[in-house]
């Protein structure tokens, strides 16, 4: 919503009256949000779906222009999609204006404009690292569980031929033979509806849902098959497939990637808006990060893609208490998210530069994850009050912010009230003594 020139002014008698100087410029997406924010609560109070006429639209838009968005407003993508269709069918809007041209974020929380309409088919993110055993599957399955517990609808895509997400984390079987599967869709052998590839895993108590496009044994040879087919831009196959999803069905689409920088990983990157990076507290982590960031940049340039959002790192699968080596690596990883690190990197050669990467959460190696997987459930559903469930909810909140379904102030508040403990080396007696002398 652009700054409104319709404002309420007090008259001489002190009564505020709404004076119109010129029409408020609402995009189709903003108008759909406005109808959802104002009309749906009114209909819910009445307990019935009453006829809503075109005359209601200017009243709703004037209300939002005057009062701003309701405090704590959280949009439901399915209802936003409904009102978008309704506005077009009623002839209020005759041209579907691209949302990115009409949505403007505002700093005031009460006037914050959700931009979830930018992702009507769901915000897409991948769990990505070419190293094996860093916790990619645990991260993607746990985050999906947290999002579903928070009421969101999540579609998972298992791009890893090993199938840990499908079989181990969620306890499902691979796609049976002679049924349409992901490998056939990527190769172009299956051109039917994407709905035939999707199965429902669970509907957690939070009101959300987890669906998945399962892996198959044919994923082991899918790369060779894609190259043999000589298809144009094989890196865009997954993106083309997910573009078939109907609007408003999913809020998030999360992809689990194989432990390699191959064509399947390229497909996941090309189909994602954001990237989650699980990391190990190991000496090779820094070099692996540089290779990964170079791969992302090269793919963006080659396919002329918009820059992918590096959402952040998630150190995982480490044992407690941390060893000295673990803390040394942890300290290096934490420095990547500091502004000072970014400034210092400008003085480095191009080959050594690395973008700042915040740490979103900590996921140590605990038996509770394996216990949940044995039940075929995600940890946030299996043990909602577990410490790791809280960490996964942190990641879920960060994704909500990235998707425009929560204001950035929610994330800032969480960081201020519940900061992560440092993974860096503990201060020595000499460090403490120097700090005390510096204060003196």
Give tens-digit pLDDT for 143-190.
999 999 988 899 999 999 999 999 999 999 999 888 999 999 999 999
Percent of the chain with pLDDT over 70: 80
Q: How confident is the model at residue 47 (pLDDT cuts 50, 70, 90)?
A: low
Per the listing, tokens 């340039």 go with 301
**pLDDT band at 25; cut points 50, 70, 90:** low
CA-wise closest residue to 241 among 172, 188, 204: 188
Other C-beta atoms lying within 10 Å of the C-beta of residue 362: 18
The more confident residue out of 99 and 241 is 241
Query: Span 119-417: which CATH code?
Result: 3.40.50.300
Q: Give the pLDDT score at 429.
A: 57
- The domain ranges of the chain are 6-117, 119-417
For the cut 60, the answer to whether the pLDDT of residue 63 exceeds it is: yes
DSSP conformational letter for 355: -
Strands 198-202 and 153-158 come out as unpaired
pLDDT (0 to 100) of residue 338: 62
Looking at 103-216, which runs of residues are DSSP E strands?
A: 123-127, 153-158, 198-202, 209-213
pLDDT at 433: 56
Record the pTM.
0.71
Residue 133 tokens, joined: 């055993």
Residues 6+ positions from 19 with CB-CB distance below 8 Å = 6, 7, 8, 9
Q: Cβ(24)–Cβ(18) under 8 Å?
A: no
Place of tokens 């978008």: 84
Query: Which letter does DSSP use for residue 94 in this model?
Result: S
Q: What is the DSSP string of 126-143?
A: EE--SSSSSSHHHHHHHH
| 12-44 per-residue burial string, b: 16 or more CB within 10 A, e: under 16 | eeeeeeeeeeeebebbbbbbbbbbbbbbbeeee
The answer to whether residues 308 and 171 touch, using CB atoms and an 8 Å cutoff, is no
Q: What is the mean pLDDT of residues 209-221?
A: 93
Lowest mean per-residue pLDDT among 191-205, 211-225, 237-251, 403-417: 403-417
User: 3-class DSSP state for residue 56?
Assistant: helix
Cβ atoms of 267 and 186 within 8 Å: the answer is: yes
Whether residue 326 is predicted with pLDDT greater than 60 in this model: the reply is: yes
pLDDT at 343 over 60: no
Per DSSP, what are the bridge partners of residue 278? Answer: 314
Residue with tokens 């075929």: 376
């Amino acid at each position: 919503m652009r700054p409104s020139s319709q404002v309420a002014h007090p008259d001489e008698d002190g009564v505020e009256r709404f004076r119109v100087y010129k029409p408020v410029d609402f995009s189709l997406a903003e108008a759909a949000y406005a109808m959802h924010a104002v009309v749906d609560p009114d209909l819910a109070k009445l307990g019935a779906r009453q006829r809503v006429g075109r005359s209601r639209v200017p009243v709703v838009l004037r209300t939002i222009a005057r009062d701003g968005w309701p405090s704590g407003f959280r949009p439901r993508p399915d209802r936003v999609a409904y009102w978008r269709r309704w506005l077009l069918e009623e002839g209020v809007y005759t041209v579907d204006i691209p949302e990115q041209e009409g949505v403007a974020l505002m700093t005031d929380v009460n006037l914050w404009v959700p931009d979830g309409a930018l992702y009507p088919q769901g915000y897409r993110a991948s769990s990505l690292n070419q190293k094996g055993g860093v916790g990619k599957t645990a991260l993607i399955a746990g985050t999906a569980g947290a999002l579903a517990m928070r009421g969101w609808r999540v579609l998972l895509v298992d791009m890893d031929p090993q199938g840990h997400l499908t079989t181990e984390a969620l306890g499902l079987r691979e796609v049976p033979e002679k049924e349409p599967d992901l490998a056939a869709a990527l190769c172009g052998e299956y051109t039917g509806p994407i709905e035939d590839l999707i199965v429902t895993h669970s509907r957690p108590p939070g009101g959300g849902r987890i669906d998945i496009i399962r892996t198959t044994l044919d994923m082991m040879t899918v790369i060779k098959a894609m190259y043999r087919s000589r298809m144009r831009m094989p890196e865009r196959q997954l993106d083309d497939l997910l573009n078939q999803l109907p609007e408003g069905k999913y809020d998030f689409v999360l992809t689990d990637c194989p432990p390699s920088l191959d064509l399947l990983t390229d497909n996941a990157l090309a189909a994602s808006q954001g990237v989650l990076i699980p990391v190990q507290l190991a000496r090779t982590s820094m070099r692996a990060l540089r290779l990964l960031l170079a791969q992302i940049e090269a793919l963006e340039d080659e396919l002329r893609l918009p820059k992918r959002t590096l959402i952040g790192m998630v150190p995982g699968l480490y044992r407690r208490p941390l060893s000295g080596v673990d803390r040394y690596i942890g300290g290096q990883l934490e420095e990547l998210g500091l502004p000072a690190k970014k400034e210092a990197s400008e003085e480095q050669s191009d080959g050594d530069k690395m973008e700042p990467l915040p740490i979103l959460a900590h996921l140590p190696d605990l038996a509770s994850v394996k216990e949940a997987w044995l039940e075929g459930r995600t940890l946030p559903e299996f043990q909602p009050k577990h410490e790791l469930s809280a960490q996964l909810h942190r990641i879920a909140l960060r994704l909500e912010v990235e998707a425009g379904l929560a204001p950035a102030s929610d994330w800032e508040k969480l960081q201020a009230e519940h900061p992560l403990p440092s993974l860096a080396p503990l201060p020595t007696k000499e460090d403490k003594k120097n700090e005390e002398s510096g204060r003196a």
